[in-house]
Structure formats: C-alpha cells, structure tokens
A = this chain, B = another copy of it.
Amino acid sequence: MKRILLIIILGVFSQFAFSQTALSEKYNLMPWPQKVIENNTPFFIDKNLTISILGNDLNKRVAKASVKFLRRLANRTGAFINTGFPKKNTKASIEINFSNISQLTVNDDESYSLSIEKDKIHINAKTDIGALRGLETLLQLVNFNEKGYYFEGVIIKDSPRFVWRGLMIDVSRHFHPINVIKRNLDAMASVKLNVFHWHLTDDQGFRIESKIYPKLQEIAADGLYYTQEQIKDVVNYASNLGIRVIPEIDVPGHASAILSAYPELGSKDNYNYTVERFSGVFDPTLNPTKEVTYLFLETLFREIAPLFPDEYFHIGGDENEGKHWDENTEIQAFKKKHHLKTNHDLQTYFNIKLEKILKKLDKKLMGWDEILTPSTPTTAVIHSWRGKHEGLNQSTLIEAAKKGYQAVLSAGYYIDRMLSVKEHYNVDPIGNAVLTKEERKRILGAEATMWSELVTPLTIDSRIWPRTAAIAERFWSSKDVNDIDNMQKRLKTINFQLEELGITHIRNKEFILRNISNYQDNEALKTLSKICEPLKVYSRNKGGTEYKTFSPFTLFADACTADAEDAMAFNNEVISFVKTKKQKHLNLIFQYLKDWSNNYTEFSKMNSNPKLISLEPLSKNLSSISKIIYSSLQENKISENDLKEANRLLIILKKPYEDVELMIVNSLNLLIDISNSKK
C-alpha cells in the first residue's frame, strides 16, 4: 500500500516536473515560479482594465506599485487605459488582496498566488510584499496576437527558496548617482530580488555625507557622495519595492579615503594618505589599537545607522593584509600585550569591538568571510566571497552555517568578472551540502556583487543585466530549475523588458559604438562587438594600461558584454555541425563567415580616428581567417599555405587585444580541423 502510494506520488510529481519544463518553454517567466498551471483563459487588455486593492495598504506599497504597473502596461501595449490609478476595496478587473504589511525583515512572507481568468485576475498574498511579487509576475505574462495584448491564462502559486536575494553595488570605485541606483532597484524588483547591499566606502571614495565628520565628503569623495536626504530617499524607494537596504562601511582595510580625511586614525604615522585612483588592494588601514578609532566609528555609525532601518549592517572587513600593522611598533606591542598572535586575531579584536558598538544601535554586524575566526561571536553574519576558505575543504558559507552563524553567499556571483551567465547560474548556494534544518535556516541566501573598478554609470547596467536576472532565479526558484538553454530562452525576453524600466544596457552600448566611430556608419564595429567580450576576471587591469578611476570607459571593451550574442550563436552552430554534420548548421556558419569576411572592407570605409585605428588589426585578421575557412569549407579541403596562415592568425586572435577577447576562436579552430582532416 505504501509502495503504491509512493509510486503514485512519484508519478504525479514527475508529471508535474515535466509539465513545468514544458510550460517554461512557453512562458518567459523569470524567476520561474514554484508552480504554474495552465487554464487557457487569457485576459485581454483594453482601456477598461482596472486595479483594486483589497487590504489595508498602510505603507502604500501596493498602491504605488499598481500605479507603476499601469504605466508600464500602457507603455508596453500602447493601451489607453481609462483609469490611471488603483481603486480601494471595490470590484475591478485585477483584484489584489493581502492581509499584512511587511516590516521588511528576513522573516517576511513573500508568497503569493495569481490567477488569470477571462475577465478577472486575482493576486492573493499574505503581505503587501507578496502582492508586489505577484504584480511583477503578471507583467511577465503579457503576450499578444492579432487580436491584441493579453495576460496568459494561468494559475500560479509562488514563494522564494531563499529569504535573502541581493545585489551589491560598489559606489566607491566609481560613483553611481541616485538615478542609476533607482533604475537598478526597479530592475531588481522586476526579478524579485529583495536586498540592495550598498558598498558605500572604499579606498577610492567615501560616499555618504557625514554632518559630524564633514571632511569625509569634503576630502574623501571628490564631490561625489550621497546626502543623507538622498540616502533616505533611496531607502524609501527601495522599501516601496519590497527591497531591504544594507549599508556597508568597509573597515579596517580599504580605508584610503577615510584616512585621507582623518589620517590620525591610520596605522602609519606621517603617511601621506590620499584618495586612491587605481584598482587593487592597498595598505592604508585603520589603527585598531587606538581608542579614537572606535570613538570615530561609534560616532559615525550612530549618525549613519538611523538612515538604514534594516537590522543588518555590513562592516566589510575584507582584504586587510596588515602591512601597516606590521610596520607599526606600537601596534606590535599592543598585539603582544593583548595576546593577539596574528593580524587576523587583531582584526577579530577590532570586529568584536564593532559588534558591541552595533549592538547598542540595534544592528547585527555582517562582514566578508575574513571575519570568520574562532573568537567571532555567532551573532555576526558571514558574507562568503572566497568560496573555499584557506586551508579548509568546505566553503565558508557552509562552514559558517554549521558553526552557528547566519550566512550569505557571494562566491560564484561576482558579476564584475564578466563571465558567462551560465557560470553563475550553475552555482547553487547549498549544492550537495547536508545540513540540519537549523543550519539550512541560517543560510539566508546570496548576493550578486557589482564591483565598480571598471564600471561607470554609462556601463554599469550592461554589467549587471541581464545576467543578474538569471542569478535572481537561482536565488528564488527551486534548485531543479536549472536547464541552461531554457533559461537563456527566457532571459532573452526578460533582457528586453529591462529596458522598459530605464535600464540602459542596450542603448548605451549603441552610444559607445557611435562615439568610437565618430557617428559614422558603424555596422562593421557592431558586428565585431557581437563576437568580442571584455577581458575577464580582472585581467583588463593586468599588463598594458592600468585604469584609473578617471580613465576613459567609453572604449570598445566597454561596449562589449559577457555572452556576446553572435559568438554564442555561432559557437552553438559549430558544435551542432560537428555533432550532426547537418547542412542547416553549415549554412548558418557560412552566413557568419561571409559577414566576417567582409568586415574589414566595411571597417575601412570609416574615416580612421585613433580609437578605430587600434581596432583595425582585429577586423583585418578576422576577415582574413574567415575567408580562408569559408573557402576551405566550401572546397572541402585546405591548402598547406592556407593552413599555415590560418594557424598564424589563430595564434594572434587568441591573444587579448584592446582589452577584449574574441569569443569564436575555438570554433574557428574546429572548423579548420574539419577542413584539414579532409585533405
């Protein structure tokens, strides 16, 4: 009997899992909900559409989201909706029902259900935040046919896998004004992210106004900082979207900016502290042995903490190499006196003091995984960024959770490394770790991190999006939602919808290419940009030119993005051709090769400026190798000379060039091998 029941359950389950896969081929939802059922009764959108809020919308979150929903819907569909604002407690075509107002904590219930019928849509949720999540899902269900735009007829039940689904933005290396933050908050909400981690200070700038320590913004910010009013505005804006804001004041390392304003807090006397212009890890470090340091931090935290209602407060704590500590005899003496053997111990001493300061302010200390030492109190929250901890086999995330710490993962989600979306999507926060219920609960979730050494307001959107939408799915959806091809199909649509929220990833790419070409016809440049990607994993700053904060970020590498679209498509065709030998793949390969063969001729039509001249060899070599491969494939053989020349070109094209890499080299190599094997 039991066995039969199990078989039935497994049968139902596998059928359900199967149907979810089939549906995800059909609907471009991201993150994919926990459960989608079709009912085939689409709701057609016309001017009579109305929204009603049934529930006490005290914080007005749902009302504001409904207004935005109506604007976004009108702008996407062109519908002249008569009623531009939601109604209260009355019948309407979209009825939103919820019972509680969320306090925006890690304990919030974000679940919702959504049902779309021919003439009525219901969104039901426990909290107002759940209702917001439902509205975003509804907007992703807009489709069209000849009759008009409609919402797909489905029933959805949904809730998140992790309670902490974040995006960190570093506004120190490059400052990002309020409007950049706000449009990214809108985009975050559209894919149900709920934590904005604001990396506000670093060697390159201190970005919050302090009224008590005004030199922080006067000396340490180059005029680029947020006023306290602006911070409140952003926190309020985020709250309306159901997004918590976690500030980070990175100490004791990464302190060049702070120390340029208050050098007396530094670990090295008579050192010329200045705001850093380069990228890297630097020596300036707060002095953890002086009482003034703690007085400063307590006063500063006391001033800043109230701007951020959230309980969690990030103190950084990463990458302190302790060089200035080693060079300071007083600090050495202090360590001896307090039995602190290593600099790590000294930093833990510092962290424990900070933890107490923050506790007085009703804040929970959070820090990068360097803070995880045997003496760190378990009230601290561990932000895992290095994956495997030095000398340990487990990731710091799992280790922390097992040791009793709440923990958040960022290892694997460093989007500034410019890796393919696949790499991040494949990282599961928990993986195969075996955890008790309590340990699992302590793993709050994860964050994508947008470090901004190489990113300005012009380019940041194209570095965050669309990859972060897929990462958001990893944080929200079931572990078994992991089909890469299906994700990429859905991501294509989501990618475009991000534009509606003001995300500039597509438009600004085009602007940069126009700028590079001095507004000449630049199809040749566009073609190149679709097969090149900016150098990955920080190698853009290795060798050659080192970027300063004020270097130009309007170069070809800045127009290129991860997952270069033509490269991806071409590489897929080559793989498919190698596997299947089917002509249809070869035909598409020929199309690309032909286009690339012509690239140099097209490129040469532009009047050369220095920015174009530097790209010329790339275009030239691409054209040359494409011609050889094209004719070799056509003729089903390759001559000795052509082979030699192709191999010479391959070696050149494999090398990084103008801070980009050509993403089709392996495929070109494969095609040469094919021609060569037929000789």
* A13 proximal to B (CB < 8 A): no
* A359 proximal to B (CB < 8 A): no
Q: What B residues does A277 contact at CB under 8 A?
A: 84
Contact flag A500-B514 (CB < 8 Å), given A78-B610, A178-B178, A545-B80: no
Q: What B residues does A230 contact at CB under 8 A?
A: 229
* B76 close to A515 (CB less than 8 A): yes
* A75 proximal to B (CB < 8 A): yes
* A496 close to B510 (CB less than 8 A): no
* A87 proximal to B (CB < 8 A): no
Closest to A70 in B: B550
Q: What B residues does A510 contact at CB under 8 A?
A: 507, 510
Give the interface segment out of A144-152, A303-311, A534-542, A646-654: A144-152
Give the interface segment out of A104-112, A377-385, A552-560, A666-674: A552-560
Contact flag A555-B74 (CB < 8 Å), given A144-B518, A229-B227, A499-B511: no
* B80 close to A551 (CB less than 8 A): yes
Question: With the chains together, A74 CA to B514 CA distance in Å?
Answer: 16
* A617 proximal to B (CB < 8 A): no
Question: With the chains together, A665 CA to B72 CA distance in Å?
Answer: 35
Residue in B70, B75, B514, B518 whose beta carbon sits within 8 Å of that of A506 in the complex: B514
Q: What B residues does A80 contact at CB under 8 A?
A: 545, 547-548, 551-552
Q: What B residues does A515 contact at CB under 8 A?
A: 75-76, 499-500
Closest to A556 in B: B78
Question: With the chains together, A549 CA to B64 CA distance in Å?
Answer: 16
Closest to A551 in B: B80
Binary flags per residue of A488-510, CB closer than 8 Å to B gives 1, else 0: 00000100100110001011101
* B77 close to A610 (CB less than 8 A): yes
Residue in B75, B179, B548 whose beta carbon sits within 8 Å of that of A179 in the complex: B179
* A549 close to B84 (CB less than 8 A): yes
* A148 close to B610 (CB less than 8 A): yes
* B79 close to A552 (CB less than 8 A): yes
Q: What B residues does A74 contact at CB under 8 A?
A: 550-552
* A99 proximal to B (CB < 8 A): no
Closest to A183 in B: B179
A505-538 contacts to B (CB < 8 Å): 506-508, 510-511, 514-516, 518-519
The smallest beta-carbon distance between A638 and chain B, in angstroms, is 34
* B499 close to A71 (CB less than 8 A): no
* A214 proximal to B (CB < 8 A): no
* A608 proximal to B (CB < 8 A): yes
Q: What B residues does A550 contact at CB under 8 A?
A: 70-71, 74, 81, 84
Number of interface residues of A (CB under 8 A): 58
The smallest beta-carbon distance between A51 and chain B, in angstroms, is 13
Question: With the chains together, A30 CA to B545 CA distance in Å?
Answer: 35
A66-122 contacts to B (CB < 8 Å): 67, 70-71, 74-81, 84-85
The smallest beta-carbon distance between A278 and chain B, in angstroms, is 11
Question: With the chains together, A81 CA to B499 CA distance in Å?
Answer: 33
Q: What B residues does A177 contact at CB under 8 A?
A: 179
The smallest beta-carbon distance between A157 and chain B, in angstroms, is 29
* A641 proximal to B (CB < 8 A): no
A235-283 contacts to B (CB < 8 Å): 277
A476-496 contacts to B (CB < 8 Å): 493, 496
* A611 proximal to B (CB < 8 A): yes
Question: With the chains together, A146 CA to B613 CA distance in Å?
Answer: 8
Question: With the chains together, A70 CA to B550 CA distance in Å?
Answer: 9
- Which of A496, A551, A613 has the most chain B CB within a 10 Å cutoff? A551
* A609 proximal to B (CB < 8 A): yes
* B149 close to A610 (CB less than 8 A): yes
Question: With the chains together, A514 CA to B545 CA distance in Å?
Answer: 37
Question: With the chains together, A78 CA to B516 CA distance in Å?
Answer: 9
The smallest beta-carbon distance between A302 and chain B, in angstroms, is 22
* A223 proximal to B (CB < 8 A): yes
Closest to A553 in B: B75
Q: What B residues does A551 contact at CB under 8 A?
A: 74, 80
Contact flag A508-B511 (CB < 8 Å), given A79-B552, A552-B80, A613-B146: no
Contact flag A609-B144 (CB < 8 Å), given A74-B550, A515-B75: yes
Binary flags per residue of A611-636, CB closer than 8 Å to B gives 1, else 0: 10100000000000000000000000
Closest to A73 in B: B552
Q: What B residues does A549 contact at CB under 8 A?
A: 84
Q: What B residues does A506 contact at CB under 8 A?
A: 511, 514
Closest to A64 in B: B223
The smallest beta-carbon distance between A53 and chain B, in angstroms, is 15
* A608 close to B178 (CB less than 8 A): no
- Which of A146, A177, A554 has the most chain B CB within a 10 Å cutoff? A554
* A84 close to B548 (CB less than 8 A): yes
6 A/B residue pairs, CB under 8 Å, sorted by A:
A71-B550, A74-B552, A76-B515, A80-B548, A84-B277, A146-B613
9 additional A-B pairs beyond A67-B223, A80-B547, A149-B609, beta carbons within 8 Å, are: A75-B552, A75-B553, A78-B552, A78-B610, A144-B609, A177-B179, A229-B230, A499-B515, A500-B515
